[in-house]
Amino acid sequence: MALINCKECGKQMSDTAISCPNCGAKNKNNNEGATTGLKVICFLIPLIGIIIFAINITTRPKYAKACLIASILPTIILALIVLFIYTSTSVIVSDGIFTQY
């Protein structure tokens, strides 16, 4: 936690504050989402995204959630693929026909 200068009124405020306590201007540093590069890293290595989420959830919720979503996305895609394969296989088995495509 550090003190930064408000971009609107120039007074000092915490970098973890959502808005300036003096003028009410939003703290852009805190409201920034994750960069595309970081999302790609999270996408490729989900564990990093989850760690970033755990560290930043209280201080930078938007940033943390963006990383978490990017991390979970490949897992959801993988789950859908597995579900699709499983469903297809089940249909073949229930038909009692051993078909090789």
Q: Which spans of this chain sit near Zn ion (rule: CB under 5 A)?
A: 6, 8-9, 20, 22-23, 25
What are φ and ψ of residue 50, in 5° steps?
Answer: -70, -40
Q: In the complex, what is the shortest distance from the CB of residue 18 to Zn ion, in angstroms, rounded to a whole number?
A: 12
13 vs 70, beta carbon nearer Zn ion: 13
Q: In the complex, what is the shortest distance from the CB of residue 23 to Zn ion, in angstroms, rounded to a whole number?
A: 3
21 vs 79, beta carbon nearer Zn ion: 21
Q: Assign 16 to helix, strand or coil.
A: coil
Do the beta carbons of residue 8 and residue 20 sit within 8 Å? yes
Q: In the complex, what is the shortest distance from the CB of residue 25 to Zn ion, in angstroms, rounded to a whole number?
A: 5
End-to-end CA distance of the chain: 59
